[in-house]
């Protein structure tokens, strides 16, 4: 296990999150530390709070209480949240969530549009990522012409466009067949090891969780290191 | 791919929906263009009738419409007698009908009126005007729709007249009108010795204030206005202009609702996609700009299509005999700019709520129901 091998990238302390005006508590005072270059699995059953924790770390949602610090920024503050999403975070969903009717290259470029990256630089980065992920032969194809695995690899490219330090992957293999799931997982693992990107993988599949550097079990809104 | 590409792709993806928005704006543009062109054209024609070779217009004070104005013969003589005046041309307006033609404008003028001299005579001549009793002279368009030739007898109002001559006039109203000598018109319309308006030509334009002051002091019941002053203060023109803009803006409001509906549907159908854009780093302003961008493209396309429809309709109206030359479309650059501005403002206003809604989409909320 590589736990603790890099600088601290993100920290959650005593984070509480509930829905329906406090009637449903999803996270009950959880704490977590993430370091650069580590691949951490949030492993738990559906509805255990994995996605909610990812949303909080990614600044997509706000905690009821507790402290969060991600890449030196406070996701509770709006300006920090935007900066986090733009410069420091990449997000991969269970469903690829690519924009239909755009080509693979255009989908990968979307985060570059948000930060106003110059076109030439954007094109070079798209090419570099596509080659890295093995999608360079599909750049001009539309999303609807891709297989499930190719769509997910495109989504990973998009998440990496602005060179994030933290990649949050929410059940990225959940909608894929076994073999394609393995391929996507291997890709995420190699990114963590080669690019020293911290990758947090929310999954309910034990086989993937066990291959991560660290397993954090999520059950009934609480975390436990396995 | 640039920001505009994202805007265009969203519109192209839902072509029919985008076309509905475009249609809403284009109908607004076409309606406004057509109405304003007709109204401003009609006002322009009327102004030219009044201001033919003149500096001042004299008419009865406080009348709601020039058709009800009465300037007496004594007053006309007094105007002619003033030292500042080079020429004065009284004119009586009347509305008559002929079989199949309910509204024909009738002009009672004197033999020396400049419009007789300026017209292109197709039959007869200016010298014939007023030479024989019971004669009327027709504008070329009037002769066309009344199917009359020189020497024919036509029924106009309650009388029968012989067509003494036909002349073409560049002014649509006059070209579709019936002309008769002033005295005969006064008798025909039972207006005694009154004229509706007197067009006054001064010896020197600088004498205008003296002429106006002198005349209005001597005859408090009449008013003398410079042509420019008349155009801006005449109530009928103001009402026509106001009505045209009001109708046009109402048409645009409907178009704006169409855009609002289109953009709302567009936002509602891709809430998840907008959430993903937020996750990818789009700020709320960028998301709003995306929606406003789409609305602006819809507006621009609507303006282009609307102008095409509007100008086609105007061209057809101008050449339709049934309109008897009353439609002479005139559209000035400021009016065109006004229409474009109104279209853009309407579209952008229609996109305010959808843009606000889109910019407030919370990514977690939108993505939770995956």
Quick check: A15 and A69 in contact, CB under 8 A? Answer: no
Cross-chain Cβ contact B281/A85 below 8 Å? yes
| pLDDT tens sequence across B297-335 | 999 999 999 999 999 988 888 777 666 556 666 778 888
B268 Cβ contact list (under 8 Å, min separation 6): none
In a domain, B132, yes or no: yes
Please state whether beta strands B135-139 and B178-181 pair in parallel, antiparallel, or not at all (unpaired). Answer: antiparallel
Q: Are residues B215 and B268 in the same domain?
A: no
Say yes or no: A94 contacts chain B, CB-CB below 8 A. yes
Looking at CA atoms only, how far is residue A93 from chain B in angstroms? 9
Residue-wise pLDDT tens digits, B109-162: 999 898 898 899 999 999 999 989 999 999 998 998 899 999 999 998 888 999
Asked if residue B324 is part of any domain, the answer here is: yes
Print the domain residue range for B174.
Answer: 62-220
> Same domain for B199 and B320?
no
| pLDDT on residue B54 | 82
Note the pLDDT of residue A140.
94
Q: Is pLDDT above 60 for A122?
A: yes
Give the domains, in start order, of chain A with CATH numbers.
8-225 (3.40.50.300)
Same domain, B33 and B83: no
pLDDT band at B370 (very low <50, low <70, confident <90, very high): very low
| Dihedral angle sign, alpha carbons of residues A60, A66, A72, A74 | positive
pLDDT at position A1, please? 40
Whether the per-residue pLDDT at B268 is higher than 90: the answer is no
Q: Which two tokens stand for residue B276?
A: 């993903």
* Portion of chain A with pLDDT greater than 90, in percent: 62
Confidence class for position A2, pLDDT limits 50, 70, 90: very low
Number of domains, chain B: 2
pLDDT of residue B51: 66
**Nearest CA distance, B284 vs chain A (angstrom):** 9
Minimal Cα–Cα distance from B227 to chain A, Å?
58
Establish if B134 belongs to a structural domain: yes
Contact B9/A101, CB-based, under 8 Å? yes
CA angle B320, B326, B328 (to 5 degrees): 80
Q: Are residues B260 and B304 in the same domain?
A: yes
Q: Residue A3 pLDDT > 60, yes or no?
A: no
- Nearest residue to B277 via CA among B287, B267, B263: B287
Shared domain check, B81 and B199: yes
Chain A residue with minimum CA distance to B276: A97
Q: Are residues B261 and B335 in the same domain?
A: yes
Q: What average pLDDT does this structure show over A184-210?
A: 89
- Kindly tell me if the per-residue pLDDT of B165 is higher than 90: yes
- Residue of chain B whose alpha carbon sits nearest to that of A118: B2
- A39-43 vs A89-92, strand pairing mode: unpaired
Predicted pLDDT at B237: 77
Domain assignment present for residue B54? The answer is no
Q: Which of residues B193, B220, B247 is at a domain's end?
A: B220
Quote the minimal CA–CA distance from B288 to chain A in Å.
13
Task: Give the confidence band of B286 by pLDDT, cuts at 50, 70, 90.
Answer: very high
Mean residue pLDDT across chain B: 87
Same domain, residue pair B41 and B66: no
In a domain, B231, yes or no: no
Does B369 touch chain A if contact means CB atoms closer than 8 Å?
no
Residue from the list B9, B273, B286 with its beta carbon closest to the beta carbon of A114: B286
In a domain, B53, yes or no: no
Report the side by side order of strands in the sheet with A65-70.
A24-35, A8-19, A65-70
Q: Which of A55, A91, A109 sits opposite B1 (nearest CB)?
A: A109
**B40 and B161 fall within a common domain:** no
* B283/A110 Cβ within 8 A: no
Of B192, B220, B248, which closes a domain?
B220
Higher pLDDT, A61 or A4: A61
Q: Touching check for A36 and chain B: CB below 8 Å?
A: no
Q: Which residues of A touch B279 (CB under 8 A)?
A: 58, 60, 85, 91
Are B202 and B325 in a shared domain? no
Which of A19, A27, A55 to probe by mutation at the B interface, max B CB count within 10 Å?
Answer: A55
Q: In what order do the strands lie in the sheet with A166-170?
A: A89-92, A166-170, A198-203, A39-43, A214-219, A222-225
Longest pairwise C-alpha distance within chain B: 93
B226 in any annotated domain: no
Is B11 within a domain?
A: yes
Q: Per the CB < 8 Å rule, is B273 touching A99?
A: yes
Rounded (10°) angle between helices B15-51 and B3-13 = 100
Write the DSSP assignment of B239-256 as a string of letters: HHHHHHHHHHHHHHHHHH
Which of B186, B220, B254 is where one domain is finished? B220
Q: What is the mean pLDDT of residues A145-153?
A: 90
Q: Is the pLDDT of residue B171 over 70?
A: yes
Q: Which residue stretches of chain B are H helix?
A: 3-13, 15-51, 73-81, 114-118, 140-146, 172-175, 182-188, 208-218, 227-233, 235-268, 271-279, 284-318, 333-359, 363-368
Indicate whether B25 and B122 sit together in one domain: no
Residues of A in Cβ contact (< 8 Å) with B3: 113
Do B323 and B208 share a structural domain?
no
In this structure, are B73 and B144 located in the same domain?
A: yes
């Amino acid at each position: 296990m590589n736990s603790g091998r890099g600088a601290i990238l993100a920290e959650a302390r005593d984070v509480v999150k509930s829905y329906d005006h406090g009637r449903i508590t999803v996270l009950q005072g959880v704490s977590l530390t993430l370091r650069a270059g580590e691949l951490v699995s949030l492993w738990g059953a559906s509805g255990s709070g994995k996605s909610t924790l990812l949303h909080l770390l990614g600044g997509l949602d706000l905690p009821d209480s507790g402290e969060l610090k991600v890449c030196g920024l406070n996701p509770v503050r709006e300006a920090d949240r935007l900066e986090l999403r733009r410069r420091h975070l990449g997000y991969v969903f269970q469903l690829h969530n690519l924009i239909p009717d755009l080509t693979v290259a255009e989908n990968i470029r979307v985060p570059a549009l948000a930060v106003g990256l110059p076109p030439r630089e954007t094109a070079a980065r798209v090419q570099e990522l596509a080659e890295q992920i093995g999608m360079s032969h599909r750049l001009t194809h539309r999303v609807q012409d891709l297989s499930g695995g190719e769509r997910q690899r495109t989504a990973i490219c998009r998440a990496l466009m602005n060179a994030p330090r933290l990649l949050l992957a929410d059940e990225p293999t959940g909608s894929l067949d076994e073999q394609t799931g393995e391929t996507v997982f291997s890709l995420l693992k190699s990114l963590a090891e080669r690019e020293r990107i911290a990758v947090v993988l929310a999954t309910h599949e034990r086989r993937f969780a066990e291959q991560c550097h660290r397993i954090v079990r999520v059950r009934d809104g609480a975390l436990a290191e396995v | 791919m640039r920001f505009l590409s994202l805007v265009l792709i969203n519109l192209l993806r839902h072509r029919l929906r985008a076309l509905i928005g475009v249609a809403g704006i284009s109908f607004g543009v076409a309606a406004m263009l057509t109405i304003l062109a007709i109204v401003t054209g009609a006002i322009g024609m009327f102004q030219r009738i009044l201001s033919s070779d003149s500096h001042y217009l004299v008419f009865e004070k406080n009348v709601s419409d020039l058709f009800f104005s009465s300037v007496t013969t004594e007053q006309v003589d007094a105007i002619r007698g003033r030292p500042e005046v080079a020429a004065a041309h009284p004119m009586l307006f009347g509305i008559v009908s002929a079989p199949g033609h309910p509204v024909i404008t009738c002009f009672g003028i004197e033999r020396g009126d400049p419009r007789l001299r300026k017209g292109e005579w197709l039959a007869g001549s200016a010298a014939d005007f007023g030479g024989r009793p019971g004669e009327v002279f027709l504008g070329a368009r009037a002769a066309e729709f009344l199917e009359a030739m020189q020497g024919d007898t036509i029924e106009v109002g309650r009388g029968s007249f012989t067509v003494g001559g036909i002349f073409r006039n560049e002014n649509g109203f006059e070209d579709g009108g019936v002309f008769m000598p002033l005295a005969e018109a006064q008798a025909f319309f039972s207006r005694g010795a009154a004229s509706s308006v007197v067009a006054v030509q001064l010896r020197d334009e600088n004498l205008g204030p003296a002429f106006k002051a002198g005349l209005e002091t001597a005859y408090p019941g009449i008013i003398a206005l410079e042509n420019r002053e008349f155009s801006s203060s005449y109530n009928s023109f103001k009402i026509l202009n106001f009505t045209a803009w009001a109708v046009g803006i109402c048409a645009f409001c409907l178009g704006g609702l169409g855009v609002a509906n289109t953009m709302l549907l567009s936002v509602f159908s891709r809430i998840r996609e907008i959430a993903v854009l937020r996750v990818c780093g789009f700020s709320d302003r960028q998301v709003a700009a995306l929606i406003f961008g789409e609305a602006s493209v819809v507006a621009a396309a609507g303006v282009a299509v609307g102008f095409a429809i509007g100008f086609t309709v105007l061209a057809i109206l101008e050449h339709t005999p049934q309109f008897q030359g009353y439609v002479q479309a005139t559209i000035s650059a400021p009016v065109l700019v006004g229409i474009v501005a109104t279209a853009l403002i309407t579209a952008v206003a229609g996109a305010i709520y959808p843009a606000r809604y889109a910019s407030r989409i919370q990514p977690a909320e939108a993505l939770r129901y995956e």
